[in-house]
Structure 1
């Protein structure tokens, strides 16, 4: 082979490589943390979808739930790396908005996953569980399970002002039958049956502490709503330490594998299962479509929720833990 031919082949390879890179859409995924099983599964779904779509996936996360600065840094890094779409589970639904506006002003499509921003239109679209419905399902279940028996309720919530925490809490109370609560109720609702509200930040240890404090406030609590299954596991530990684990009904939201096993074991009576794999996969597809065609996703995409329990009750649609374990996430 002559030197001239070698140079020509090198030039062809270089041009081909540049074209290949240009054809590979870049999509970013920013989660609240790297370690929560929900976000681990979300990342897995995004990676799978990116591979199928021939896209390059960039990933980032905050150091902990609430780390807005970490998410802003990830956004800036992804813009610099050429991302055409960024998918984000916002830790701070308000404080993240200026960074998202900066991204959108530069032509980046932004999709919120799992949690909406405030305002909702700070992103192009929202792909998420209907969190009000998730709460509604477990509230309806709790009402049916108690069969008319009055309850003293504790809610082990997320943290103040978070839209997911508000939606699940209010959905639970609405499902339980508390009047005047809707999906757009802007703050945590209350009712005469609700004797204690405490924040857990979705953490098992903090959930245990929150429940211990509630029991000190009112030792006759008979029904507990927990924002997620780690918090519910903490609630159970507190109840067991107090000798009350058989006297209190616990309901929750998430549908992780550990949580579904807790339903099977009777630790949690019922949980509302959501689907982060589907959430991320659909959003990556939308991001690739935008990168290749300029067509933006818009509005709200409901990624589904299912009530999981092994105690089926009349009038409450549910699936058993065998189904839940087949669709769960985490270990």
Structure 2
């Protein structure tokens, strides 16, 4: 699906400036409304989403800089923006997992009149009204990773978290051919990626009825929380054969707890993110701490590519679902080299 103009900035969306849900909603993915002709929407003048000028200012609202995945996303976004002389990225706003803070940050970007707004929502519902405010102000919005519940955005860029969860579940089935007890470390319960990664995993392990999820709990995407929850589970005396964590930091936090209890030889650990950084998931697979992880692309390059098309008045994909790569001991070294961002100029 391609867009040459922000179709969602409609009368309904403008009227919804202060009303949640004024634009049509989609709980699975934020994408343009269904219309007879979806290839491109009719331009109001020259078809551009932003006024043509010498330079453009980008505002970016990040959900939580403290998560390694998001810190890497920030680094990559800054790098790719720096490759374009006509783009300026304002200091990245860190919501610190606080949705009310993020709402205020997005509203501030709107008041500043940025040319393009990029948002990685902490939660979908609270971020929908301020995103609609940006749309109503004529600011193209690119949403990364987690959707918002409005169709007025210019583009959604992210992975298929149900598919990633399913791939993790298929790996669990391979690791536990005779069945076993699984514990699941979730992200924030209201986050859509957490919901999707759980759904896909459960669908896949259903292939072996002897695999049981005996405990699951949110650990807020954080390593230290993963350690804390895993320590509690181990102290309860439950038999645990495999840990499935919705990101690598939580998986590695669980691994630390198991190491402290002398249990790492008895338990397999699966994560998601697959960052090519010294303390990331790919290196953990190489070192035998994780049985596997899955590369979850940051979308930084695709976001900047989309921004350049927006400011140049070119067509772009309104929905960009990024592929994942499974990382095991067989390919971890190769994948690390491929995704090692530190090797870039």
Instruction: Give the TM bin, normalised by the shorter chain.
Output: 0.7 to 0.9
Report the Cα distance in structure 2 between the residues aligned to 1:152 and 1:330, rounded to whole angstroms: 38
Alignment of 1:171-320 (within 5 A): 171-177=200-206, 193-217=212-236, 219-256=238-275, 257=277, 258=279, 259-276=281-298, 279-293=299-313, 297-298=317-318, 300-311=319-330, 319-320=331-332
Report the Cα distance in structure 1 between the residues aligned to 2:285 and 2:238, rounded to whole angstroms: 24
**Deviations for 1:248-300, whole angstroms, at most 9, x for unmatched residues?**
11101001222211111111100001222xx11211222232234285652x2
Structure 2 gaps, min length 5: 1-51
1:163 correspondence with 2:185: no
- Partner of 2:272, secondary structure, is strand
Is contact 1:255–1:329 with CA below 8 Å preserved after alignment?
no
Give the number of equivalent residue pairs.
Answer: 288
**Deviations for 1:53-112, whole angstroms, at most 9, x for unmatched residues?**
3211124333412x1232223223322333222111100211111111111001111111
1:58 correspondence with 2:94: no
Instruction: Point out the structure with max Rg over C-alpha.
Output: 1
**Deviations for 1:189-229, whole angstroms, at most 9, x for unmatched residues?**
x9971100111111111101111222344521101101111
Q: CA deviation at 1:175?
A: 2.6
1:24 correspondence with 2:24: no
More helix by share: 1
Alignment of 1:40-51 (within 5 A): 40-51=71-82
Query: RMSD between aligned alpha carbons?
Result: 2.5
Report the Cα distance in structure 2 between the residues aligned to 1:120 and 1:267, rounded to whole angstroms: 40
Q: Equivalent of 2:139, from 96, 102, 108? A: 108
Is contact 2:282–2:335 with CA below 8 Å preserved after alignment?
no
Q: Equivalent of 2:65, from 9, 25, 34? A: 34
Partner of 2:130: 99
Report the Cα distance in structure 2 between the residues aligned to 1:235 and 1:196, rounded to whole angstroms: 13
Q: CA deviation at 1:120?
A: 5.5
Report the Cα distance in structure 1 between the residues aligned to 2:74 and 2:195, rounded to whole angstroms: 25
Structure 1 gaps, min length 5: 1-20, 180-189, 312-318
